[in-house]
Amino acid sequence: MTMKLIHTISELRAELGKYQRPALVPTMGNLHDGHLALIRQAKPLGDVTVASIFVNRLQFAPHEDFDTYPRTLEADCAKLQAAGCDVVFAPSERELYPEPQGYKVTPPPELADILEGHFRPGFFTGVCTVVLKLFNIVQPRVAVFGAKDYQQQMVIRRMVQQLALPIDIQTGTTLRAADGLALSSRNGYLSPDERAEAVQLSLALKVMVEALQKGEQDIAKLEGLALKNLSDRGWTPDYLTVRRRHDLQPPQTADFAPDRLVVLGAARLGTTRLIDNLEV
């Protein structure tokens, strides 16, 4: 089928009424190969593949890059069509929020106010609110999110579980450049010198994983060394940390076993904030 670009909720609902099992990939646009891999992952999981493109004001703090976040709809649509996407839903802000969004989804603080939520207060309320709204509009049976946003996909998975939504949440593997840098829409903000340096975030996480695999259990020492090493290179780290996979809380002695831990990092290089994670 020819890919359809739809801007209104009513038109989207009319189009999706022809199908039984929509598969949704929510995005903010400015797409890269990681997004396209999610589309290809979603395609066999439903009878119509939908990508949403919407830069959601609710998840940006006043000092963040909402106004400057790249809007590249024409290029995004060309990439999505080549990847086999069937429908692109690209609503305006007025279409998705015709009045101030007074009703919001507030996720539990023990999951949403740590890590990303600590450094970006209100971020996950904005994410959950827009994702739930998209779920209500699209009525997907499956939705695919990238693993690079590790905490985000966990928050959404728990929201779906607690609200008993009939949606299967799938996670797509983080795609990386040849040097190991996780693909991100914000990588385009980096200067050539910053781009060469940016791989140091994933390398720092890799060093932490290797230390854990060798039996290191002094988490404070491991995190402190990683933070210092990035800071010494001119970064401004928010966190480089070891957490339990199932709830993102600091590990206890019993957690030091295979398949129980993840290392996560967020740091600013120049004016660009990058995030990444590696499971142990």
Write the CB contacts of 64 (distance below 8 Å, at least 6 apart in sequence): 120
Query: What's residue 256's pLDDT?
Result: 82
The secondary structure of 206-266 as a DSSP string is HHHHHHHHTT---HHHHHHHHHHHHHHTT-EEEEEEEEETTT-PPP-GGG-STTSEEEEEE
Query: What's residue 1's pLDDT?
Result: 75
Give CA separation, 159 vs 7, 18, 32, 125, 127, in Å.
26, 27, 27, 11, 11
Structural contact between residues 139 and 16, judged by C-beta atoms closer than 8 angstroms: yes
- How many whole angstroms from its chain centre is CA 25? 11
Structural contact between residues 8 and 54, judged by C-beta atoms closer than 8 angstroms: no
Residues of the chain with pLDDT under 70: 258
The pTM (predicted TM-score) of the whole model is: 0.94
pLDDT digits (tens, 9 = 90+) for 158-198: 999 999 999 999 999 999 999 999 999 999 999 999 999 99
Long-range interactions of 42-45: CB distance < 8 A, separation 24+: 42/142, 42/143, 42/144, 42/170, 43/84, 43/85, 45/21, 45/142, 45/144, 45/168, 45/170
Structural contact between residues 241 and 115, judged by C-beta atoms closer than 8 angstroms: yes
Query: What's residue 255's pLDDT?
Result: 80
Structure tokens at 129: 């609110």
Query: What's residue 253's pLDDT?
Result: 80
Query: What's residue 258's pLDDT?
Result: 67
d(CA 1, CA 126): 34
* Catalytic residue ranges: 35
